[in-house]
Amino acid sequence: MTYTLEQLRGLVAVAEELHFGRAATRLRMTQPPLSRQIQKLEAAVGAQLLNRDNRRVALTPAGEAFLAEARRILAIAEAAPELAQRISSGSRGLVRLAFTSASTFGTLGRLLNELELELPEVHIELFEMVTREQIAALAAGDIDLGLARPPFDPERFSSRILHREPLSLAVQEDHDLAHLDRPVVPDDLVTEPLIFHSQAKARYFYDLVVSMVPLSQERVVHTVSQVMTMLWLVSAGRGVAFVPASAGVVGVPGVVLVPIATPIPEPVELHLLWPRQSGNPALPRVLAALGHMML
């Protein structure tokens, strides 16, 4: 079955005008070529689509059914160039975004809401990954954008700071440290069992805490990679844990966050990270839409 868009347009015009002369005028052609188009269309379809005599033109039952499909095909064909242009310009498409679990504590949701408002036709596909996994996925082209922790290789990736926040201490709500009238200092922690970040799987937070809060590693009773796991271990009375201040939105029962004295008031950083070379036309539009969210 082979037919052309011109033949489909001819059928639609005749079906709507129910007159070959008026349909030909509408299509800016003469009647004989239009009649030949319909004949060729019927031959391609293998069914009579129109009943015609000297006085009237009417669709056959097969013609009625085929007319609906002809209109659908024409609508798709007419929309295709605009769709291609919008994808090429980046106003429509797909961006694959990876995020760390801690970035879900407010930042990820605000980012997605902003993109839905600014670029409603760009679909964001989400992947939860630690920073190390994000870097590998960006390098392989498996994702387009990451919410990750520094440091990054500036020769391979571009990045912008999206969010800064304090480092906090998660303790049980009836713990003595929950009732201080000042920030916690290292001397307050000398006898506390510590729930610590894994040096292998949560290297950013491990290095950050070690540099910000000098303390004895002998007090570490658990090492884990996820902030949520830390909070639940604190809730179970297993120790105290260093977490980003935004973790307070989680509301784990029996756990409160208290401030820690650190040399830098807001040492915890979250960055947008993307490859310097990307073939995704939607990525620059996403970065521009998020520009006012970046520090």
- pLDDT tens digit sequence for 247-288: 999 889 999 999 999 999 999 999 999 999 888 989 999 999
- 53 shares its domain with 142: no
- 127 shares its domain with 39: no
- 258 shares its domain with 274: no
pLDDT in tens, 183-232: 999 999 989 999 999 998 889 999 999 998 887 777 899 999 999 999 99
pLDDT in tens, 155-178: 999 999 999 999 999 999 999 999
Mean pLDDT score of the chain, rounded to an integer?
Answer: 88
Q: Residue 139 maps to which CATH number?
A: 3.40.190.10
- 173 shares its domain with 246: yes
- 9 shares its domain with 84: yes
**pLDDT bracket for residue 295 (50, 70, 90):** low
Percentage of the residues of the chain whose pLDDT score is greater than 70: 94
Answer yes or no: is pLDDT of 127 > 90: yes
Q: Which of 106, 150, 153, 96 is nearest to 128 (CA)?
A: 96
- 273 shares its domain with 229: no
Whether 271 and 149 have beta carbons less than 8 Å apart is answered as yes
Last residue of a domain, one of 89, 104, 126: 89
- 174 shares its domain with 244: yes
- 19 shares its domain with 106: no
Whether 271 and 126 have beta carbons less than 8 Å apart is answered as no
- 201 shares its domain with 115: no
Query: Exposed, middle or buried: residue 38 (CB in 10 Å: 0-12, 13-18, 19+)?
Result: buried
Q: Which of 225, 210, 211, 53 is nearest to 132 (CA)?
A: 225
Phi-psi region of 257 (alpha: psi -120 to 50; beta: other; left: phi over 0): beta
Domain count, the chain: 3
Q: Rounded to an integer, what distance in angstroms lies between the CA atom of residue 163 and that of residue 294?
A: 7
**Which residue range(s) make up the domain with 210?**
167-265
- 244 shares its domain with 192: yes
The token pair at 69 is 């499909």
pLDDT at 86: 53
- 248 shares its domain with 105: no
Q: Residue 74 maps to which CATH number?
A: 1.10.10.10
